[in-house]
Structure 1
Amino acid sequence: MLANRLANVRSEASPPSALSANNMPAFRQVGEKQLPNPVLCMAWSPRRDLIALANTTGELLLHRLASFQRVWSLPPSEHTGTEITALAWRPDGKILAFSLGDTKQVVLCGVEKAEILHVFPVQNPVTCMHWMEVMEECSVLTSFYNSEDESKLFLPKLPPLPKSYSTTSKIFSEEKSDEIMNLLGEVRLNILVLGGDDGFVELYAYGMYKIATLTGVSGMCRSLSLSSDLKSLSVITEVRSAESNPEICYFQLDTGLLSDCLPEVTRMARKFTHISTLLQYLHLSLTCMCEAWEDILMQMDLRLTKFVQEKNTSTQVQDEFLELLLWGQSSLELQALLMNQLTVKGLKKLGQSIESSYSSIQKLVISHLQSGSEALLYHLSEVKGMSLWKQKFEPLGLDSVAIEGAITAVGSFSLKANELLQVIDKSMKNFKAFFRWLYVAMLRMCEEHVPPELNKMTQKDIAFVADFLSEHFSENEELFDRKGKYFNVERVGQYLKDEDEDLVSPPNNKGNQWLKFLQESTHLKESPLLFPSYPQKSLHFVKRMMENVIEQCLQKPAEVIGKSVKQAVSLPLYTVPESSNTLRLFELPSLWNDKKAKMHYVVFSMPHISPCKLYLLRRGTDPTRHIPNSVMSVDLSHHLDSADDDGNAAAQSHYAYSCLDARFYDDEMLTVVLEGVEENSSRSVLAQLPLASTLSCETEFNWEPNLRLDQQGSAIPCQGMVLGNQWRELEGMKAQFVAVNGIRKVACVLSANLRHIRVFEMDVEDEDEEVADSQNTTADQDGGDTTMTSEGQGEENVETGGDPAGNGAGFQKTEECLESEEALELT
């Protein structure tokens, strides 16, 4: 057995054909996995050694670099969708955004516990997304950030929603009720950019508030990148026409308004994100109230309706109950209703249900609806103050009249919530008195003992019950046509119905002195300082009206900012043959925003024109800035070579290479997947291409504006490929795609069948290589599922699981690894 193991170790330890014995591969493989379902999207976290994968089943997976262990999985949901089309990490790595094509939604997911934090709809299916952080420094912003938390001095913390209900808010959890700051992230402004079909491009501040809807882009968005200085947005689109093959185009949009008004945009975006989150909080609070209301509360109404339909006399129901109240006598039919259908036990259960349900709804109104409405009024009032500073905020579309309408709508909602409180309070008093009297009456019908504390009933109590019977127990033929019952004894549920119809039993305000005073005063009745009350409408109706008004108020800046964005550059690049079946989500071109040089880079290939060339396009983030050597190419046909101990050139591999995929590793390096084809074989290579050697070309390219780039490709300056030892052959794998993270120095290669993944550390010390190779050898002997634990053992917490240092290098040597190393030393 030791001899077999030693032979395997010798086989694995032997260098590839194009490498000398003393020149180990530049990148260390730290994980390999065969996945059960094809992967459609993959993206590295910008801050941690975590990679997100989305497969064809709609499942979202999060894996850690160390042994490629699975941290968690988020299965597809019928409430969100099952077709993930794009992924993007928030710059701080705490939230992951993904788009759903079948339901046209974007979901923000918390990375720590795989919680869905926020969902919002979009008009078109999203095909690509980019989440950037503004890097411009501004003294005005610094003072703004310092005063941002002033609302905490005036507003109490929003109470968490109770977890006893099925609809529980993840944003306002019991552990941390102010988790809106998790959605806002750090103090810097960050913007989620979405691109889709038919030139659909939208910008969302903090991933939540739509700050701009852009026009001027044609075709389906394939890739996009917003510059960190907010001066321009670069978009790669695929334009289709019936006459010719699809055309790949590059657009640069001038977003100078966002850059010029950065402090104002940041302040407005944070305020509107607060408002959007509060609207969601109110919606979830009302949903919890609807769940607290139980169907058992309708039992009295249904029993009385059945009683009317079955009784033979023409006596009114309220007369039957009044006779029982005043004389202690009742008809046989009423006795049958009370004793056989309602029963003493059923009456006690109904009373307990009403008291419990009304108390829960009352607490939610006081602690959640009212506090949420107050916070909403506070933030809207601050936005109104901003809108009155016309010099600063009018160019962004803030309209003081529209915001005033939103404030009025919130005031009406607050009044309706207060009206519901009064109805609950009155109903609880009425039902307690009514059930107490009816319980005693039913005990007497059964000739059972009546407790002395219940037997005492004053004249005031009798009058109270009589008024309740007169008001609630009158038959209503119109109500039967609408609801299928003659009575509406229970008055709270009508406020929680999500219907456009008026209230069945609106509150009786005849004795209200304030309303009488308002009706008699002409000036006060029309005063804008007073909120309208809508006495005939339900709480749900007023809430929907408030949401619509605020949504219109929030949309106007997005329209104004969107119209200010103009197309600065439009460059047709090349055509795509219809026979190309490569998945669009991974295909080149790839965009990169160089924050230091303030430039957009576009890397792409034209295999049908020049299969052995890789092209690079540069544009300044400032559309007016001229960039010399804006287009250049890299010749990939050079042979990969290496050096032996004497420094002489070793045997060269006779392959002509083409680029399958390319991603920007950092501002100075490009990670590429190359395919070399010989007469009877092919091989895949992962390589690092330094941009400095490519950008050193001094030949200027004169772009003909009436021609596509592929039609003038022969005139593009070309540089040879310089790799050194920064490459590695991917043995036993037909690679196709790559995802990289230069900050964490990692790369993930995906095979052409979308199921085979290899993970590499790109910058490693030489002494670590022997350990890594011996580990890979051992894992291959154990069944080919390299360094991966079983599915049931892979789940862990993002913060504490796996490598505590978060750098993915914390591997433990197994006994077999140690034996393999000892065997190597013996040889």
Structure 2
Amino acid sequence: MPAFRQVGEKQLPNPVLCMAWSPKRDLIALANTTGELLLHRLASFQRVWSLPPSEYTGREIAALAWRPDGKILAFSLGDTKQVVLCGVEKAEILHVFPVQSPVTCMHWMEVMEESSVLSSFYNSEDESKLFLPKLPTLPKSYSTTSKIFSEEKSDEILNLLGEVRLNVLALGGDNGLVELYAYGMYKIATLGSISGMCRSLSLSSDLKSLSIITEVRSVDNNPEICYIQLDTGLLSDCLPEVTRMARKFTHISTLLQYLHLSLTCMCEAWDDILMQMDLRLTKFVQEKNTSTQVQDEFLELLLWGQSSPELQALLMNQLTVKGLKKLGQSIESSYSSIQKLVISHLQSGSEALLYHLSEVRGMSLWKQKFEPLGLDSSAIEGAITAVGSFSLKANELLQVIDKSMKNFKAFFRWLYVAMLRMCEEHVPPELNKMTQKDIAFVADFLSEHFSENEELFDRKGKYFNVERVGQYLKDEDEDLVSPPSTKGNQWLKFLQESTHLKESPLLFPSFPQKSLHFVKRMMENVIEHCLQKPAEVIGKSVKQAVFLPLYTVPESSENTPRLFELPSLWNDKKAKMHCVVFCMPEISPYKLYLLRKGTDPNRHIPNIVTSIDLSHHLDNADDDSPEAQSHCAYSCLDARFYDDEMLTVVLQGSGEQNSRRVLAQLPLASNLTCETEFSWEPNLRLDQQSSNIPSQGLVLGNQWRELENMKAQFLAVNGIRKVACVLSANLRHIRVFEMDVEDEDDEGADSQNVSADQDGLETTVTSQNPGEESLETEGEAGEQEGDAFKKIEEQLESEEAPELL
């Protein structure tokens, strides 16, 4: 009776490069060679959704990591040097940030250390909601596309923070790149002086150390695998302060993205106005072939009520009464959209930014607590000033929009009445009245928008200028073409005459000659400087505590996918130890090695190195057949930590049984009881002193299963969910197992998971709303499962966040 119940099998169309189980749900993420990200559920290995490669995601996914709550999946892009955060519910890209070098490995860890200070902080975290209004969602009428959020994602922005408890995404890559991101978004540490390429890394749950497996080039140019432990004591010692600072800066980062997206919507609304003008009025102006200017002819019509036959023909035939009415309505609608975006989005976002930055400034003044983390009060004051300048510029734009809307309305109402008179149609009495102020508005409109002055516009060949508002939305460094007039402004006059107030830090500079885009960029740069400094200060505090060269990489492994290759690194939270499992095929091919190192570099815990001898393994002592009683030597192809007490391995037989593959569970407790410190020769690699490593044989009992008709090679496991996924050497054949039940109906399982379902991945239809489809199909799949799977479903329903299951 084979151990472990097989619940799914697939032949995939494209080779898989990464796979990772969700920490909270029975879902596995896969990345293939086409750059596609796939999410499958345990039940029959059905696909939930796929995220195809795009201009924002790239085509080379190099590493995967789940946020500890299982709601967000992070993946790195080797070809574009980016890290992407993807919402699991609907396969939506929520956040993208660049990195200096390609990321080769990542680990997302939740901080488990509890303290009374932290608990009080967690309870008071939502105070900002008492003072700040909820940010309005972005309008759905615009096709806003952003590298950060799609048009309807303003609700998701602050949800990105997830749980209040601190979680840290650790990234490792080429050229010694190691960075730590709080909540997966805010960089809290940039670590230098790491040699080689990171192959694996794990941050301890108490934040005391970071363990890294690197591949470095030795003196004779052979790749060496090394174990490095970094002392991150500052993060651990200042955990409440780091949590509070990271939380605030993540709020600030998301608010900056919200403002960016709001401004993008404003630019699109302005583009609508330009498009309407180009379609009608610009064409109308260009087709006029008389010597007089359009502005003059309109003024003549305004003053005397008379128009030239040509202007009358153009108005009646080209523009038409109906066309003019439609044009006026669309322009007024676009202006209103921009006005609403400024009032409800830019101003709300700016107020929230000022609130959070003011709190950070208060933190920075508590120098005893926050100065070691690099919080600089003067830099934060500069950021507050920059946000104030942005608010002033947004308010200035509101005044310009207000004036432009008055002119537009007056002009279109006057021209509409004039055209009705030309048609000899009835003019409604409410439209027939024109005050002196209305006439002034129309004259202003004509002088501003029909001018042929080259300085007022840069759109060649087009004589209709509507840049009064548009100049604020241009993403250029040029000064405003026509800044607002400050003549008669008593406040400005008072400021200029006051020597004390002129240079006061309490007043925000207004930059009267600059556009809104320019002031926004300036604000982003100043805030970015504030965000970066703590990462540099914390990074410099990190010191290398341990450097242990393990073994040289055999040349035969050059073609093996590096993303699956041993060694595997594990953070044992209970024992507060880092564990490394690895093989040294050139030295001892039939042994599996375990290295254990305490997570606290300042506390002496013996370096425990043991090996598991796989060469004298007895297959099954209960079986009386001669074949079963024979001894068989195994080599380990892949090993992953199932939990703190168990190791899941894929073993390959030797000699005549070379094609045999076995999936097995190895209990670690018996192999890590040797508390004798391994006497490590500092000048030698571990493989050069392997004869001194204590070795233990192992009998598996019934915790193994032969993998028939499959050239198994790689593993992904999750002890919390009690699941394992086995991948073949060609990276296309996958089998999925539940590890805590025996396969009672082997024949039934085989019929359910026939590999004839080879094209299952390709034939699965992904709808426009993949999240909804996944929920429907998942319910159907759940009904088809046996009693064992129903039991797991009941267990899942009692847990948090069961949306997908």
TM-score by length of 1: 0.89
In structure 2, the residue matched to 1:351 is 328
1:202 equivalenced with 2:179 (yes/no): yes
Q: Conserved in 1, the CA contact under 8 Å of 2:94 and 2:149?
A: no
In structure 2, the residue matched to 1:763 is 740
SS class of match (1:230): coil
1:583 equivalenced with 2:561 (yes/no): yes
Tell me the amino acid that sits aligned with residue 604 of structure 2: H
Q: Conserved in 2, the CA contact under 8 Å of 1:250 and 1:573?
A: yes
In structure 1, the residue matched to 2:111 is 134
Taking the aligned partners of 1:43 and 1:723, their CA distance within structure 2 comes to 26
Taking the aligned partners of 1:799 and 1:739, their CA distance within structure 2 comes to 24
State the 1:212 CA deviation: 0.6
In structure 2, the residue matched to 1:820 is none
Which sits farther off after the overlay, 281-290 or 240-249? 240-249
Taking the aligned partners of 1:134 and 1:807, their CA distance within structure 2 comes to 36
State the 1:135 CA deviation: 0.7
How do residues 142-291 of structure 1 correspond to structure 2 at under 5 angstroms?
Answer: 142-167=119-144, 179-180=156-157, 182-240=159-217, 243-291=220-268
Taking the aligned partners of 1:327 and 1:785, their CA distance within structure 2 comes to 81
Taking the aligned partners of 1:390 and 1:749, their CA distance within structure 2 comes to 52
Q: Conserved in 2, the CA contact under 8 Å of 1:199 and 1:220?
A: yes
Residue 37 of structure 1: which of 14, 21, 28 is its match? 14
Taking the aligned partners of 1:242 and 1:696, their CA distance within structure 2 comes to 36
Taking the aligned partners of 2:654 and 2:384, their CA distance within structure 1 comes to 68
In structure 2, the residue matched to 1:599 is 577
Q: Conserved in 2, the CA contact under 8 Å of 1:31 and 1:788?
A: no
SS class of match (1:492): helix
State the 1:229 CA deviation: 0.5
Structure 1: any 5+ residue segments left out of the alignment? 1-23, 813-827
State the 1:505 CA deviation: 2.0
How do residues 520-539 of structure 1 correspond to structure 2 at under 5 angstroms?
Answer: 520-539=497-516
Structure 1 residues 612, 792: closer, same or farther in 2, change over 3 A?
same
Q: Conserved in 2, the CA contact under 8 Å of 1:503 and 1:538?
A: yes
Taking the aligned partners of 1:171 and 1:311, their CA distance within structure 2 comes to 49
Taking the aligned partners of 1:523 and 1:122, their CA distance within structure 2 comes to 45
Structure 1 residues 808, 790: closer, same or farther in 2, change over 3 A?
farther
Structure 1 residues 761, 426: closer, same or farther in 2, change over 3 A?
same
Taking the aligned partners of 1:808 and 1:203, their CA distance within structure 2 comes to 43
Taking the aligned partners of 2:636 and 2:473, their CA distance within structure 1 comes to 60
In structure 1, the residue matched to 2:797 is none
State the 1:353 CA deviation: 1.5
Q: Conserved in 1, the CA contact under 8 Å of 2:140 and 2:152?
A: no
Taking the aligned partners of 1:322 and 1:339, their CA distance within structure 2 comes to 18
Which sits farther off after the overlay, 347-356 or 782-791? 782-791
How do residues 341-380 of structure 1 correspond to structure 2 at under 5 angstroms?
Answer: 341-380=318-357
Q: Conserved in 1, the CA contact under 8 Å of 2:15 and 2:730?
A: yes
Structure 1 residues 486, 529: closer, same or farther in 2, change over 3 A?
farther
Structure 1 residues 449, 639: closer, same or farther in 2, change over 3 A?
same
Deviations 1:536-594 (A, max 9, x none): 22211111111111111100001100111111111111111334211100001110001
Q: Conserved in 2, the CA contact under 8 Å of 1:54 and 1:84?
A: yes
Taking the aligned partners of 1:457 and 1:480, their CA distance within structure 2 comes to 30
Q: Conserved in 2, the CA contact under 8 Å of 1:479 and 1:487?
A: no
Tell me the amino acid that sits aligned with residue 115 of structure 1: E
Structure 1 residues 811, 703: closer, same or farther in 2, change over 3 A?
closer
How do residues 501-580 of structure 1 correspond to structure 2 at under 5 angstroms?
Answer: 501-580=478-557
Residue 622 of structure 2: which of 615, 637, 644 is its match? 644
Tell me the amino acid that sits aligned with residue 479 of structure 2: D
State the 1:503 CA deviation: 1.9
1:779 equivalenced with 2:748 (yes/no): no
In structure 1, the residue matched to 2:695 is 718
Residue 48 of structure 1: which of 25, 32, 38 is its match? 25
SS class of match (1:499): coil
Tell me the amino acid that sits aligned with residue 675 of structure 1: Q
Residue 748 of structure 1: which of 718, 722, 725 is its match? 725
Taking the aligned partners of 1:725 and 1:500, their CA distance within structure 2 comes to 72
Q: Conserved in 2, the CA contact under 8 Å of 1:112 and 1:799?
A: no
Structure 1 residues 781, 445: closer, same or farther in 2, change over 3 A?
closer
In structure 2, the residue matched to 1:461 is 438
State the 1:307 CA deviation: 4.3
How do residues 363-512 of structure 1 correspond to structure 2 at under 5 angstroms?
Answer: 363-479=340-456, 485=462, 488-512=465-489
Structure 1 residues 176, 330: closer, same or farther in 2, change over 3 A?
closer
Deviations 1:367-419 (A, max 9, x none): 11111111111000000000000000000000011101111111111111111
In structure 2, the residue matched to 1:92 is 69
State the 1:456 CA deviation: 2.7
Q: Conserved in 2, the CA contact under 8 Å of 1:639 and 1:653?
A: no
Q: Conserved in 1, the CA contact under 8 Å of 2:404 and 2:468?
A: yes
Which sits farther off after the overlay, 449-458 or 214-223? 449-458
In structure 1, the residue matched to 2:586 is 608
Structure 1 residues 370, 296: closer, same or farther in 2, change over 3 A?
closer
Taking the aligned partners of 1:54 and 1:546, their CA distance within structure 2 comes to 37
Taking the aligned partners of 1:424 and 1:665, their CA distance within structure 2 comes to 62
Q: Conserved in 1, the CA contact under 8 Å of 2:76 and 2:83?
A: yes
Tell me the amino acid that sits aligned with residue 559 of structure 1: E
Which sits farther off after the overlay, 677-686 or 563-572? 677-686
State the 1:465 CA deviation: 2.4
In structure 1, the residue matched to 2:798 is none
Residue 601 of structure 2: which of 618, 623, 634 is its match? 623
Taking the aligned partners of 1:76 and 1:738, their CA distance within structure 2 comes to 25
SS class of match (1:619): strand
Q: Conserved in 2, the CA contact under 8 Å of 1:282 and 1:372?
A: yes
Structure 1 residues 51, 513: closer, same or farther in 2, change over 3 A?
same
Structure 1 residues 455, 270: closer, same or farther in 2, change over 3 A?
same
TM-score by length of 2: 0.91
State the 1:784 CA deviation: 6.3
Q: Conserved in 2, the CA contact under 8 Å of 1:380 and 1:403?
A: yes
Structure 1 residues 342, 91: closer, same or farther in 2, change over 3 A?
same
Tell me the amino acid that sits aligned with residue 615 of structure 2: S
Taking the aligned partners of 1:738 and 1:789, their CA distance within structure 2 comes to 23
Deviations 1:240-265 (A, max 9, x none): 36842111111111100000000000
In structure 2, the residue matched to 1:685 is 662
Taking the aligned partners of 2:584 and 2:664, their CA distance within structure 1 comes to 19
Tell me the amino acid that sits aligned with residue 421 of structure 2: R
Structure 1 residues 700, 461: closer, same or farther in 2, change over 3 A?
closer
Tell me the amino acid that sits aligned with residue 723 of structure 2: V
Q: What is the aligned-residue RMSD (CA, Å)?
A: 3.0
Taking the aligned partners of 2:760 and 2:264, their CA distance within structure 1 comes to 46
Taking the aligned partners of 1:181 and 1:632, their CA distance within structure 2 comes to 47
Tell me the amino acid that sits aligned with residue 571 of structure 2: N
Taking the aligned partners of 1:698 and 1:810, their CA distance within structure 2 comes to 40
In structure 1, the residue matched to 2:794 is none
Q: Conserved in 1, the CA contact under 8 Å of 2:608 and 2:676?
A: no
State the 1:350 CA deviation: 2.0
Tell me the amino acid that sits aligned with residue 384 of structure 2: I
Residue 796 of structure 1: which of 774, 778, 794 is its match? 774
State the 1:740 CA deviation: 0.6
Taking the aligned partners of 1:502 and 1:781, their CA distance within structure 2 comes to 68
State the 1:808 CA deviation: 8.9
Tell me the amino acid that sits aligned with residue 478 of structure 2: E
In structure 1, the residue matched to 2:803 is none
Which sits farther off after the overlay, 181-190 or 473-482? 473-482
In structure 2, the residue matched to 1:15 is none
Deviations 1:159-188 (A, max 9, x none): 111222222789999999654553222221
Tell me the amino acid that sits aligned with residue 775 of structure 1: G
* Count of residue pairs the alignment pairs up: 784
State the 1:653 CA deviation: 4.4
Structure 1 residues 786, 373: closer, same or farther in 2, change over 3 A?
closer
